[in-house]
A and B are shown apart, each in its own frame.
Chain A
Amino acid sequence: MRPLRALFVLAAISMCAAASIETNEIKIIANPDVGASEISRDELNRIFLMTKTSLQGTSHVEPVLETAGRVHKLFLKEYIGRTDVALMTYYRSLVFTGRASIPKAFVSDSELIEYVAKTKGAIGYVSANANTAGVKTLKVK
């Protein structure tokens, strides 16, 4: 029984470590105009699901996505809990009922950073080693 319990604990630790490694590959960035320096997982989820449009003193925030790639998939898995297809289906349900527009999406970190840097309230995600000059990084709490 003890070896089985130890094995279980080891497996749990490994899973947590893997998740931690994955989220360390992503940086959450925002336009310098955004007042917050950190953001909760719940806030990030609600912003990208368009149910939250303000953040800690910033009256209007705009989610910005990547179109594909490892960082995009990790972000969706870790913070949104939906696949890319499911998220697009969700956005379309908002568009075709008049509740929102489809957020902007970019093919590369550099294009996304360029847009976030020039757009007030924009919040996006890039790979951890991307050059994020011109934007601020938000710590996920």
Chain B
Amino acid sequence: MYSIVKSVLAIVVVSIGTRTLRAQFTEFKVEGRPVQIHGFASQGFALSDGNNYLTMKTSAGSFLFTDFGVNISAQLTGKFRVGAQLYDRNIGNLGKWHPELDWASGDYKFNDWLGLRAGKVKTVLGLYNDTQDMEFLHTWAILPQSMYPLDLRSATIAHVGADFYGDISLRRLGSLSYTAYVGFQPTDRYGGWFYGFKEYGINLTRLNGRLEGGDLRWKTPLQGLLAGASYLNQDLHAQATVRSRSYGVSSTHDQTSQFYVQYVRDRLRLDGEYRRNLLDLALFLLDSRSFYGSASYRVSKRLELGTYYSRFYLDLRAGGSGPSSHIFEKVATARLDLTSHWDLKVEGHFMHGYAASNAFRGFYPQDNPQGLKPETNLLVIRTGIQF
């Protein structure tokens, strides 16, 4: 059934994309109201030395790096819009072609400083949490994994609930944009947590819970400079079967604080983010820290170059300086915009560390039966279309 749905979705995306590649999008009217359809698809290749990465057999080269999505939306009145997006992916052993409802919401804007969005909503956390799946929006083939891990995407990507949001002008001091939300994190059976725990004989059946949080960003008076902070608090509930017996645990802490700054000037973009996650869930007591700094420059209409340096510390309280305590990563990227709807990226990752075999941060013992090596160099080539 899933392969049929996958095939249908892929055909829809490719056929609409092919027909509308010259147009920016597909728009039609339903009872006089404009309805837009957009979509995207990407295909990647990853090759590594050292370790296999992100559940792919990258040491032999892997094409198991595909995702696509399609959305439909309509502005029903000047203040009210509705829409939904389907998303599917297969990255190594993640996703496994199980499509999901990425978001589906109704959005009512009372005025510029107050709006309400409800349904399944992408979570605003830092600069790129809500857009991390859309490779065409970014310079990078893979976003800094210290901040936006592909395998643990479902931990923060969206919630079922409601957001209040708005934009407040500070006149000469710029403007403030805020988002405050409360909701429920759905279980992702095809993400890194479920995959990682299997190696230990733990079959997760549930990992979800209530969450609340917010984001506040300041568009400063200096053109192009943005600064902000996000906070997310989750009550996680996990259920698993171990040797046919069922167990359940709940977190006492799962708090994420994130601070960020961005400067965009003409062709130059500079980003910096810092995140702290405090997790207390059964055997997991972690004070994780992540940060990265990036720079990208649009050399021409077709070419953009970029680099980032990223650091992830699994548990700062535990100390330790060996490869099991962290992942440090240096990345260089060239992005080619072959057309306005088709991009190609070539990217090199130079990583030190794997942050422990039970960290579920890209490096899994079942994918590396020979043991994890301290260094991993990875080549990623990724192409994508969007309309």
A and B pair up: yes
A51, B40: Cβ atoms closer than 8 Å: no
Asked if A93 CB lies within 8 Å of chain B CBs, one says yes
Q: Write the B292-309 contact mask toward A (1 if CB under 8 angstroms, else 0).
A: 000000100100000000
Q: How far is the CA of A82 from the CA of B264 in the complex (A)?
A: 8
Chain B contacts of A89 at CB under 8 A? 137
Q: How far is the CA of A85 from the CA of B301 in the complex (A)?
A: 8
Chain B contacts of A86 at CB under 8 A? 264
Chain B contacts of A139 at CB under 8 A? none
A96, B69: Cβ atoms closer than 8 Å: yes
Q: Which of B49-57, B78-86, B92-100, B234-242 contacts A (4 or more CB under 8 A)?
A: B78-86
Chain B contacts of A105 at CB under 8 A? 24
Q: How far is the CA of A93 from the CA of B131 in the complex (A)?
A: 7
Q: How close is A43's CB to chain B, nearest CB, in angstroms?
A: 8
Q: How far is the CA of A102 from the CA of B35 in the complex (A)?
A: 11
- Among A59, A83, A92, the residue within 8 A (CB) of B78 is A59
Q: How close is A4's CB to chain B, nearest CB, in angstroms?
A: 27
Q: Write the B84-116 contact mask toward A (1 if CB under 8 angstroms, else 0).
A: 110000000000000000011101010110000
Q: How close is A31's CB to chain B, nearest CB, in angstroms?
A: 13
Chain B contacts of A51 at CB under 8 A? 112, 167, 175, 177
Q: How far is the CA of A100 from the CA of B137 in the complex (A)?
A: 16
Asked if A99 CB lies within 8 Å of chain B CBs, one says yes
Mark out the residues of chain A between 83 and 97 whose CB falls within 8 Å of any chain B CB in the assembled complex: 83, 85-86, 88-89, 92-93, 95-97
Interface centre among A82, A93, A97, A99, by most chain B C-beta atoms within 10 angstroms, is: A97
Q: How far is the CA of A100 from the CA of B223 in the complex (A)?
A: 23
Q: How far is the CA of A98 from the CA of B85 in the complex (A)?
A: 8
Asked if A101 CB lies within 8 Å of chain B CBs, one says yes
Asked if A111 CB lies within 8 Å of chain B CBs, one says no
A53, B36: Cβ atoms closer than 8 Å: no
Asked if B358 CB lies within 8 Å of chain A CBs, one says no
Asked if A124 CB lies within 8 Å of chain B CBs, one says no
B121, A98: Cβ atoms closer than 8 Å: yes
Q: How close is A66's CB to chain B, nearest CB, in angstroms?
A: 13
Asked if A54 CB lies within 8 Å of chain B CBs, one says yes
Interface centre among A46, A52, A60, A101, by most chain B C-beta atoms within 10 angstroms, is: A101
Q: How close is A52's CB to chain B, nearest CB, in angstroms?
A: 5
Q: How close is B344's CB to chain A, nearest CB, in angstroms?
A: 15
Q: How far is the CA of A60 from the CA of B79 in the complex (A)?
A: 7
Chain B contacts of A99 at CB under 8 A? 107, 117
Chain A to chain B: the 8 pairs with minimum beta-carbon distance, closest first? A60-B78, A51-B167, A97-B122, A81-B223, A98-B83, A97-B130, A98-B103, A52-B112
**Between-chain CB contacts (< 8 Å), 8 pairs:** A46-B112, A53-B79, A93-B137, A96-B69, A96-B71, A98-B84, A98-B104, A102-B25
List chain A positions with a Cβ less than 8 A from chain B. Answer: 42, 46, 51-54, 59-60, 81-83, 85-86, 88-89, 92-93, 95-102, 105, 121
